[in-house]
Structure 1
Amino acid sequence: MGTTALESFKDITSGAAGGIAQVLIDLVKVRLQTQGGGGNALGLVRSIWTKEGPLAFYKGTLAPLLGVGACVSIQFGAFQLFRRRLEEYRRIYPADAKTNSKSLSLSDFYLVGGAAGLTNSIISGPIEHVRIRLQTQPNGAARLYSGPWDCVRKIMQHSGIKGLYRGQVVTLFREFHGYGIWFAAYEGFLSMAMAWEGVKDRRELASWKIAACGGLAGEALWLGSHPLDVIKSKMQSDGFGRGQKYLTMRDAFRQTWREGRFRGLFRGLVPALLRAMPVSAGTFATAELRTMSLSNPHSQRLAALLSRRHPAVHYANNASLTSFQSRYASTTSGNPETLPPHSKLPLKILLRSLLVATISSHRILLGPSLAILKFLNDSHRAWVFDVQRNPLLHAILKKTMYNHFCAGESRHEVTSTIAEIKRMGFRGAILTYAREIVVDNTTEEESGRGLKEMDSASEIESDAGIDAWREGVLETADMLSEEDILALKLTGAGAAVSEALTSRKPLPAQMESALADVCSRAVERGARIFMDAEQISVQPGIDAVAIDLMRRFNTKERGAVVFNTYQAYLKSTPDTLAQHVALAHKDNFVLGIKLVRGAYISSEPRHMINDTKQATDDSYDSIARELLSQGYRDYGVPGGKSFPDIELFLATHNKDSVLKANELQQTRAKEGKALIKIQYGQLLGMADEVSFSLLQLADQGVDAKGSESDAPIEVYKCLSWGSLGDFGVHCVEERVMEEAYIFQLIIAEKIEISKSVHRTLIIVRLTRRAHRSLSRPHLTHPPTTPLPSESRHLDGIPDNPPNMAAKGDKIEKIITRLQARIGEGQFYEAQQQTRVVAARYIKAANWPAAIDILYNVAQSLLKAEQGGSGGDLAVMLVDVFKQAELKPDAANKGKLLTLLRLFAAQEPTRKKFIGEIIAWSSKFGEYPAGDTDLHHVAGSLYAEEHDAYEAERHLVLGTKDSAEVLAKMEYAWYKEDDSHTAPLYAARAIFPYLLVGNVRAANTCYRLFASSLSDDNKGLGVQDVSSNSADLRIFPGLPLLNFLGLLLLAIQRGAPDAYKQLLAKYSSNISEVSAWSEALEIIAEMYFGISRPRQSNPLMDMMGSLFGGAGGGGAPQQRRPATRRVEAPAAEGLD
């Protein structure tokens, strides 16, 4: 919980205090609003006291009491959220808002308050409906409802969920208008009070004055919204069926007006106003008090602490926290410093997990929850219940259930979710475009979202389904980065594809083309593809498609790009897998295996499934064991055929299975046996104990028994994405049902989650206690003078401890052992073991050891022409430099440049490595666009390989020697073209340097290019022109080259008039090269102060100001252009 989370907590707790008091004398108001005839408030109070007793004033409010407080909490939390968003949009900062030096207008506060009211109405509508029915029902034996739950049950029996939301439209109007007035009036009265007192900060006002402003705001709320509240009360107390008096909100208004005119619309106003003054005063006074108390320095430090993953370690010397750790820390490895698996989850996700686990493990909650989800899953509902059209319902579902199970609705949300899970330690994400046809084999009926039956041959030939599937899958692929995985459901492409899979016929040509495009896109992004398993009716067809794609894409050099899924609950799976192992051996491709237990048990023919769950567990573990041991049927066993190349992915929520597999892999690694690549994965929002148990083993560098691990442990989370309306509700419903199927496991996980929540809250409490103890003046603070060992650094790396020699020998032995593996040809094993060992030293912050291991092993792998493995370790080395915050000094750059020169020219990993080292030097060096030496070497390598485009990008941001390399490259490139194109190639070197403000380099490029051209072409008739200030060569047949020379001369002299004359003289020649126009406009503005033509569209102007660049390399600050024409690799994630 960082600053934003603390603000949200502050806003919500501020509203809770005053909400409960709002039930006072509410019964009087509602009775006056709903009863016919005359009467006054005092008479009604006397009547209720006499006939029903004093507790009647709380009739219908004791049970929903907490709900009322929650409603006000939501109002305040939403108000502050919308207010902050609007202030950010208007560029009003917190200091301005507090002092009213620059604040929102009253109309802005009205809109923000109205939005908060709308947010609250989704909860307050049903709560107030139940309360009003209980308050207006007959007394004694004639009463209709025994309590609030009985009232809810009877309403839903008669009218369903829609009945609970009776009067919701008028509730929306009342909430928006009423709370818009409430918050706007409060801010208005507060501004008047501050002006009267002559203060600029609201915190300087006396508490009673703040309360008075709040009380007056409450009066304004009810004066402005009371007629709407009357209509709401009448509609929500109305009968059902034949007893219903008001058919619509409009009808209720009409009848109320006919019965009493204005008096009828304002019945019950007196008690409402009597209640509003003290309640509203107390609410706002409490809100301001809580705001001040939660804004003090101790609370800010608390926010900083809670934003870290393990808050307790920062106060490990504190006695209370130390005792807490010893009491609560536990792990399978027996390491007392390690917290349980769920401790890695943020508190927000822990609470959300607890909510889902509670619903899934309670039959009483599960049934209604599934019913609500099914109800909301109907796209033909009225807008109030349409999750896509109702923004409030959309926000509530999305922030709770949807975000727990799904990745997001847009590209930005999905990539943010993937980045978040990677920050938690996951290797990557499995992203699925979930669209499929489900066939019930018992009834042979099809069902699917967004699909319809194909009734004719013409429809079968239609390619609309394939086009939609291709578009959606490619969009999904574009959200992935290296190491991520794209999961495909082929039946999502429509009935034509499903029919081909079912009949085992070739796929339509259009589908074949779509699959090729998808696989190629995945290869481009460094991602992989899972062919998801589906029902037995289409699975053989999917198997055939997957094997065909593996033959094309799963090469020895590339590894497994395409994986097929095998379901262990099918009796035929071991034989199917044996056939595919044989095909991989015969056709020499890498077999990608994703092993699952199965997902279609409710609709598959029963005789094809294992008889018991234990049989499925045994089958799963047996397949995994034999594959990891590299002995399956006739392959890899003594006297049999050689075992083919295989990569295994275990997708399971069974903790025993993954721990057994990991234990076997670690044992084989310790024994020096050959390994296959294995990874693990679970669904997002499910089996977090399994996922984080594996991550903990990976972090600790141990196996399940606590011994040091020698094989990497890589874990993934499987995510689905799509809009909440089209897919999200359906996905959430399926996930909740899946959790319900594993009832006992969910109960156990719920217990662990509850413990983690309890543990986190205790840490919060103990942290606050630690703050109090640390803030006492008599305590001695830690010394600020660094110890001698801390002050000595070599090349940016702290010295080793006294036993450096012994540790150095150990590192040397590790490196020698790993290099021996490389010498034996066990490249993959060497790479993976290096990652594991290095991760151990990284975790201990032993940067020198990690750097030595990674650098030496990466160097050996690259020399052995293992670019992929060596490149992976080289990128990991850069990550260590970033974590250690090392500067790009000569020693550190020397290591990286040594590795860079060892890469093969066509090695794909090299481009990523270059991007990473540039990003590192940009962050920790003096040049915002990246270190000039690194740019120079990278550009020079690209120039030697004749990769002109990449060379240009880096050389322009390189050293003073880079200009000569760039000029020679452009001239060599020109020599392969026509002679009259010389100015175009010269400009490719000159313009980029001018656009980054490097005039000297631009002159160097022109001089070298012109000299080479003159020397190689004696017949050009070149004329040398000399003056007191400059020498110039004139090429009679190349006017544009002359223009470039004269342009540089005008820039050096800073002569705008000369530039204008030059532009006029050569205008006809320049017009033939349209690509120069924009560059010349920018140069004119940079060097001569001539404004560029502007578009009149203010939005475009704003975007230009937001996204305009700055100079790179060593360009002088004052000469940097407003718009960059060279794409400088200055940020992380460049490539």
Structure 2
Amino acid sequence: MSLASLRLQTQGGGGNALGLVRSIWTKEGPLAFYKGTLAPLLGVGACVSIQFGAFQLFRRRLEEYREIYPTDAKTNSKSLSLSDFYLVGGAAGLTNSIISGPIEHVRIRLQTQPNGAARLYSGPWDCVRKITQHSGIKGLYRGQVVTLYREFHGYGIWFAAYEGFLSMAMAWEGVKDRRELASWKIAVCGGLAGEALWLGSHPLDVIKSKMQSDGFGRGQKYLTMRDAFRQTWREGRFRGLFRGLVPALLRAMPVSAGTFATAELRDIIPQRVTLAEGCTGKRLEYVALPVAQCPKSATVHMSVRRYHEGLPHLDVGYRRYSNRLALQFLSHSIDQRLAALLSRRHPAVHYANNASLTRFQSRYASTTSGNPETLPPHSKLPLKILLRSLLVATISSHRILLGPSLAILKFLNDSHRTWVFDVQRNPLLHAILKKTMYNHFCAGENRHEVTSTIAEIKRMGFRGAILTYAREIVVDNTTEEESGRGLKEMDSASVIESDAGIDAWREGVLETADMLSEGDILALKLTGAGAAVSEALTSRKPLPAQMESALADVCSRAVERGARIFMDAEQIPVQPGIDAVAIDLMRRFNTKERGAVVFNTYQAYLKSTPDTLAQHVALAHKDNFVLGIKLVRGAYISSEPRHMINDTKQATDDSYDSIARELLSQGYRDYGVPGGKSFPGIELFLATHNKDSVLKANELQQTRAKEGKALIKIQYGQLLGMADEVSFSLLQLADQGVDAKGSESDAPIEVYKCLSWGSLGDFGVHCVEERVMEEAYIFQLIIAGKIEISKSLHRTLIIVRLTRRAHRSLSPHHLNSQSHRASYKTTSSHLTQRPHLTHPPTTPLPSESRHLDGIPDNPPNMAAKGDKIEKIITRLQARIGEGQFYEAQQQTRVVAARYIKAANWPAAIDILYNVAQSLLKAEQGGSGGDLAVMLVDVFKQAELKPDAANKGKLLTLLRLFAAQEPTRKKFIGEIIAWSSKFGEYPAGDTDLHHVAGSLYAEEHDAYEAERHLVLGTKDSAEVLAKMEYVWYKEDDSHTAPLYAARAIFPYLLVGNVRAANTCYRLFASSLSDDNKGLGVQDVSSNSADLRIFPGLPLLNFLGLLLLAIQRGAPDAYKQLLAKYSSNISEVSAWSEALEIIAEMYFGISRPRQSNPLMDMMGSLFGGAGGGGAPQQRRPATRRVEAPAAEGLD
């Protein structure tokens, strides 16, 4: 059937399937129907395995996604839709095309070549050889683009149709589990899915067949996929695109039916997974069973429930062996399907019987492998939102893309367009805009879409949503003309008759209010009620009675639903009238018992805002109501009178921050200050995209909470689709506050997203246009953010690449891997990240001298300061002495920026260094750290080398940081990156690493200490060894080798043998001195001294390993492995480290991991194992006399 279909697709002229079959039988014989069968026969196993394996993988990932983001938020449906199955099937097809493309190319060549003596290829191998000789490997992938299209679309239809037919069959039979269906019914569903596959993808298959059967060079007929399509269309129109369909359909039914019927058998067979052998020699088995069959008699059960329907494997049983619980973490020991299951609902796994665990295991029983504090802010964003954010950021930060995009949006925003360009009437245009820009910035076009969006942002951790139905009238300051936004066209009579506008506004706002729930906020634009209301606001006359009634109804509805109301700021002509309306509503609704229900908006870019706010504070004090303040920078700068706006952006920033600071400190003008009037009730909402502003406000609020001072309620908000870094940074701080205390902080961090909703045609395009312009305005911040991410990634690759994962599972006589992570799986130069200690060692570390050779603790200023610089520094330090820390920091930044712009590096460095030092001494870690980071940036701009004087300044500042100051870690990362770029050590200056690591060691932050000390000086080894020993003393005695290895292996992997020996010697000496009963034996020879610990074979192995390395004796190393093989097997995670060490020091090649699939493909295409890839040359053996890098002992 395949041959008949292919011949019909590629031959010219007419003909039918039956006539073609007769012709082939007569001229070429019956065996001709099996031409080219060898290539697909060899590859079909790999193709189908990849196809279904990829499908199951992508399906599980999408199911996990639907657990968090349901298909239908209204019904909370978490089952995959047919469109979901289409995407999953398409992704599986794309994955499969990597192999199926070349295999089908060879098959097509063989099936379409002439018969008899004129044939071109003697077999598949000859075909592959000739194609690669002519066009290389690229020739095998001819037609791959159309293959990708066919595979995605075809297999998307295939899997979606199968799931659809299967659902229909289950509904028809009244069953809920597909395994209850008879096999023949499953086969029928699969056969129908095969028919759907070829009906939907056959035209693409025709184009693919023509391109892959085409000649080479001058004989090539089709240059591109488009060219092949054009010629096929010209020859036969639709008939040409569907030639060969009948044989394809006849073949599809049985093949697809058998495939799916066989694939479904895997759910009938019980799944059994055997875990690694433990020290008892027993094997622990896991059997996946339905709930009803789960053994009730098992001694210990761990619940690993899946929370979505249709998955029967719910419980896991464990047996007890000897007197210990042989329990290994599933995330490392069982297949990744169960690991994903655990991590979805059980981020921390708890032991069922903690009594049988060691103190160390119990301490880490609920430690997770990931540290949420280290994740980037955008880590909480779903993939689709992240991709849309990338699209918007790319457009906004490239002028080449921005100009045309804005022009297109303005063109589409014109309501006088034909239906082709009308986003509301043209379904294709509507779908494109809605799925990209509109959904990124707007909540939806109807109630269902809006509530789904609100539910989604709440699931991401936001407190709630600020929802607005965007209707307003904008006054152009240059022409004094009004233009409506979001209003449908009305005739002149409707504009004069204001009641219609108020009614429409009231209905829209009440509909919006009904979408809110407790804690959400309704944002109102009063000018959306029509010309009559706008006129009343502009002339400061009372609102029409109908509008007052509408406002009362809206406020009452909000109170009923537990929501609040924001009176959005608008342009200067109407703002005084809005202020008066807001104050009047606050008097009625903002009672002391209820709190702030109505908030007024204050724009910091107006010069009059501080005075206006002072007047409203006085009214709140006088009339005894709670003043709701929403503070923004401003949104109408392009149309406001320029003289009423602050002269510079810095002035606006200062105004915004000072207002927020004074309100949070409960001292604004004459209210709340000593000798003044009492501070009234106030609630503050900071609506800003400025990260510095929100972090400063939060820092002040948290500081006041820790000091037990009175607090006002503060919340934060950003627009949907914008400033996600600000929003998620706040959410991270909120999570850290809860994690640190175990309960919510006294100053909770609550973040909102502001959403607009309405039809795409009425206001959606304009809303998108505004948002894109706002993003373009801050595109420099976007670029800076990308640069910062790149720098952070670069630092991570340089510094943290010492090992790639933590210790894996040990036997019961050792440690549980997930909880302690105490062994190593390493690469040739990198060390594993590990969570911080939850219980730091109680034994103090030996004091470590902070004075480095050539670097004094307080280095003198190398450049003599001029009188002017001295006066500036003195003035700024005086402000710090008066307690004006924030003002001193900001003035320092301004002054330093002036000298940086003039390239006066010494002056900028002196100012930043001295003021940062003063702030840090005053325990102002945030402000001082900010200036310290700025100082490092000056070092980079000036391209200064890390000499003694420059390092001395930085180390002096480093030692002044408080241990828990968040800015310190950033400062350390910056100085390491600077020394890496401008110094002689690619991984960063050794002195800086040593001091940073020593500080972390003193604070019992083991992971941070290790990653720096390994790259430190010759004194670092002693500090690391002592730290590991102190840490070990908190655990059981038999775990000593694991802690010793934490210091020894990393040094060996960076070629620092002397440091490794130092660590072993110090650790063994301390262990021997503190444990007289160990029976330690001292063994001496002419060439070496060694301590033997009878009860610690792995520690003996480490000592002998170091001796073998120093002697460069491969035979001795092999003898060691043979002797201690049983002990090493209990610490399976050491295996990779030992393989790398064997290759580095003894020239023993690492064993190649067998890959049957790649081996098969390598043989198929004439290569060796490993997929035909050329064998890589083994690197030369590491000699211990040559250090890995300059500066490493």
TM range (shorter): 0.3 to 0.5
CA separation in 2, counterparts of 1:1119 and 1:137? Answer: 40
Indicate conservation of the 8 Å contact 1:953/1:1128, yes or no: no
CA positional deviation for 1:598: 0.8
- More moved, 381-390 vs 315-324: 315-324
CA gap 1:380/1:665 in 2 versus in 1, 3 angstroms: same
The change in CA–CA distance for 1:760 and 1:919 in structure 2 (over 3 A counts) is: closer
Secondary structure at the aligned position of 2:461 is classed as coil
Confirm or deny: 8 A CA contact 1:712 1:833 kept in the other structure: no
In the alignment, is the contact (CA less than 8 A) between 1:332 and 1:705 conserved in 2? no
Conserved? CA contact 1:132–1:233, under 8 Å = yes
Q: Which region of structure 1 is more displaced relative to structure 2, 522-531 or 369-378?
A: 369-378
Structure 1 residues 976 and 684, CA gap change in structure 2 (3 angstroms): closer
Equivalent pairs, count: 1108
How has the CA–CA distance of structure 1 residues 935 and 389 changed in structure 2, closer, same or farther, with 3 Å as cutoff?
Answer: farther
Of the structure 1 ranges 159-168 and 843-852, higher mean CA displacement relative to structure 2 is found in 843-852
- TM-superposed CA distance for 1:463, in Å, is 1.8
Alignment match, 2:92: 116
Aligned twin of 1:46: 22
TM-score by length of 2: 0.43
RMSD over aligned Cα atoms: 25.8
> 1:994 touches 1:1083 (CA, 8 Å); kept in 2?
yes
Alignment partners' CA distance in 1, 2:1094 and 2:740: 80
Any idea what SS the aligned residue of 2:629 has? strand
Shift of 1:531: 0.2
Q: Is the 2:331–2:342 Cα contact (8 Å) retained in structure 1? A: no
The 1:110–1:928 alpha-carbon spacing in structure 2 relative to 1, beyond 3 Å, is farther
More helix, by proportion: 1
How far residue 128 of structure 1 moved from its aligned partner, in angstroms, is: 21
Residue 592 of structure 1 aligns to a residue in which SS?
Answer: strand
What is the CA distance between 1:1106 and its match in structure 2? 58
Q: Shift of the alpha carbon at 1:617?
A: 0.2
Could you list the per-position Cα deviations for residues 484-535 of structure 1 after superposition, in whole angstroms to 9, with x for gaps in the alignment?
A: 2111111221222222222322222211110010011112222211001112
Per-residue deviation, 1:86 = 18
Cα deviation for residue 425 of structure 1 reads 3.3
> After the TM superposition, which residues 753-764 of structure 1 pair with which residues of structure 2 at under 5 Å, given as runs?
none
Answer whether contact 2:471 2:525 (CA < 8 A) is retained.
yes
**Greater CA drift, 521-530 or 240-249:** 240-249
Closer, same or farther: CA 158–385 of 1 in aligned 2, 3 Å: farther
SS at match of 2:805: helix
Following superposition, the deviation at residue 847 of structure 1 comes to 55
Work out whether residues 373 and 732 of structure 2, in 8 Å CA contact, stay in contact via their aligned partners in 1.
no
Deviates more, 1:578-587 or 1:995-1004: 995-1004
Over 3 Å counting, the alpha-carbon distance change for 1:1001 and 1:640 in structure 2 is same
Contact preservation (8 Å) 1:316, 1:322? no
Q: Indicate how the Cα distance of structure 1 residues 321 and 41 shifts in structure 2: closer, same or farther if over 3 A, else same.
A: farther
Q: CA deviation at 1:614?
A: 0.6
Secondary structure of residue in 1 paired with 2:255: helix
Q: Once the 2 structures are TM-superposed, how far is the Cα of residue 395 of structure 1 from its aligned partner?
A: 5.8
Which stretch of the first structure deviates more once superposed, 693-702 or 794-803?
794-803
Contact 2:855 2:951 in 1 (8 A): no
In 2: Cα distance, 1:712 partner to 1:972 partner: 37
Distance 1:81 1:882, change over 3 A: farther
3-state secondary structure, aligned to 2:62: helix
Shift of 1:475: 1.4
What does the per-residue CA deviation read over 1:855-907, in whole Å, with 9 as the maximum and x for residues that have no partner?
99999999999999999999999999999999999999999999999999999
The Cα of 1:413 is off from its aligned counterpart by 3.7
Contact 1:922 / 1:1131 at 8 angstroms: preserved in 2? no
- Distance of aligned partners of 1:562 and 1:96 in 2 relative to their CA distance in 1, 3 Å threshold: closer
Partners of 1:643 and 1:567 lie apart in 2 by 22
Supply the distance in 2 between the matched residues of 1:1030 and 1:480 (Cα, whole angstroms). 77
Q: Secondary structure at the match of 2:738?
A: coil
Inter-CA distance 453–624: structure 2 relative to 1 (3 Å threshold):
same
- Going from structure 1 to structure 2, the CA distance change for 1:223 and 1:561 (only over 3 Å counts) comes to closer
Query: How many angstroms apart in 2 are the aligned matches of 1:796 and 1:428?
Result: 56
Distance 1:857 1:558, change over 3 A: farther
CA drift at 1:655: 1.5
Report if aligned partners of 1:997, 1:1119 keep a CA contact under 8 Å in 2: no
Q: Is the 8 A contact 2:28 2:115 kept in 1?
A: yes
- Identify the match of residue 521 of structure 1 among 546, 553, 557: 557
The one-character-per-residue Cα deviations of 1:57-77 (angstroms, maximum 9, x if unpaired) are: 999999999999999999999
Q: Decide which moves more: 431-440 or 633-642.
A: 633-642
Deviates most, 1054-1063 or 93-102: 1054-1063
The Cα offsets for residues 787-822 of structure 1, whole Å up to 9 and x where unpaired, read as 999999999999999999999999999999999999
Per the alignment, residue 1174 of structure 2 pairs with 1116
Percentage identity across paired residues of the two chains: 98
8 Å CA contact retained: 1:502, 1:541? yes
Cα 1:682–1:285 change in 2 (3 A) is farther
Q: Distance in 2 between matches of 1:621 and 1:1035?
A: 64
Q: 1:135 to 1:1094 in 2, by over 3 A?
A: closer
Q: Return closer, same or farther for 1:1053/1:39 CA change in 2, 3 Å cut-off.
A: closer
Once the two structures are superposed, residues 713-737 of structure 1 have per-residue CA deviations (whole angstroms, 9 ceiling, x without a partner) of 2222222223444444443333233
Deviates more, 1:464-473 or 1:997-1006: 997-1006
Cα distance in structure 1, aligned partners of 2:664 and 2:705: 11
What is the distance in 2 between the residues matched to 1:1078 and 1:302? Answer: 25
Task: Give the Cα–Cα distance (whole angstroms) in 2 for the partners of residues 68 and 304 of structure 1.
Answer: 29
The 1:816/1:113 distance shift into structure 2, 3 A limit, reads: same
Of the three residues 331, 352, 368, the one matched with 1:316 is: 352
Q: How does 1:498-537 map to 2 (within 5 A)?
A: 498-537=534-573
Deviations 1:704-754 (A, max 9, x none): 999996433222222222344444444333323322211122234456789
Deviations 1:1003-1028 (CA, angstroms, capped at 9, x unpaired): 99999999999999999999999999
Q: Is the 8 A contact 1:928 1:1112 kept in 2?
A: no
Aligned with 2:945 (options 887, 907, 917): 887
Call closer, same or farther: CA 1:790–1:827 in 2, change over 3 Å: closer
> For each residue in 1:424-465, what CA deviation from the matched residue of structure 2 results, as whole angstroms up to 9, or x when unmatched?
433322121222222222233333344267775763224222
What SS does the aligned partner of 2:866 have? helix
Task: Return closer, same or farther for 1:907/1:693 CA change in 2, 3 Å cut-off.
Answer: closer
Once residues 211 and 391 of structure 1 are traced to their aligned partners in structure 2, the CA distance between those partners, rounded to angstroms, is 38
Cα deviation, 1:79-104, whole Å, max 9, x if unaligned, reads 99999999999999999999999999
Aligned equivalents of 1:1058, 1:150: Cα separation in 2:
49
CA, structure 1 residues 606+305, in 2 after alignment: closer, same or farther (shift >3 Å)? Answer: farther
Distance 1:1063 1:482, change over 3 A: farther
Choose 94-103 or 1038-1047, whichever is displaced more.
1038-1047
Aligned CA distance change for structure 1 residues 641 and 369 (closer, same or farther; 3 Å): same
Cα gap change, 1:572 to 1:990, in 2 (>3 Å): same
Moved more, 1072-1081 or 679-688: 1072-1081
Whole-angstrom distance in 1 between the partners of 2:445 and 2:971: 32
1:585 & 1:264 partners in 2: Cα distance? 83
Q: Is the 8 A contact 1:546 1:563 kept in 2?
A: yes
Distance 1:480 1:962, change over 3 A: farther
Kept after mapping to 1: 8 A contact 2:1159/2:1171: no
SS at match of 1:486: strand
Q: Which moved more, 1:482-491 or 1:79-88?
A: 79-88
For residue 594 of structure 1, report the CA deviation from its aligned partner: 0.5
Contact 1:418–1:428 (8 Å) recurs in 2: yes
Give distance in 1, aligned partners of 2:788 and 2:1171.
53
Distance 1:1117 1:248 in 2: 35
Deviation at 1:1121, TM superposition (A): 80
User: Which of 1006-1015 and 441-450 deviates more?
Assistant: 1006-1015
Cα 1:644/1:944, change in 2 over 3 Å: farther
- How far residue 966 of structure 1 moved from its aligned partner, in angstroms, is 74
Query: How far apart, CA to CA, are the structure 2 residues paired with 1:345 and 1:529?
Result: 28
SS in 2 for 1:1116: coil
The reply to whether residue 478 of structure 1 matches residue 522 of structure 2 is no
Does residue 1:349 correspond to 2:394, yes or no? Answer: no
Identify the range of structure 1 (1009-1018 vs 951-960) with the bigger mean alpha-carbon deviation: 1009-1018
The CA distance in 2 between the partners of 1:594 and 1:957, in whole Å, is: 50
Q: Which moves more between the two structures, 565-574 or 1059-1068?
A: 1059-1068
In structure 2, relative to structure 1, the CA distance for the partners of 1:307 and 1:87 (3 Å cut) is closer
Provide the rounded CA distance (Å) in 2 between the counterparts of 1:259 and 1:1129: 71
Name the SS for the 2:572 alignment partner.
coil
Q: Retained in 2: the 8 A contact 1:231–1:249?
A: yes
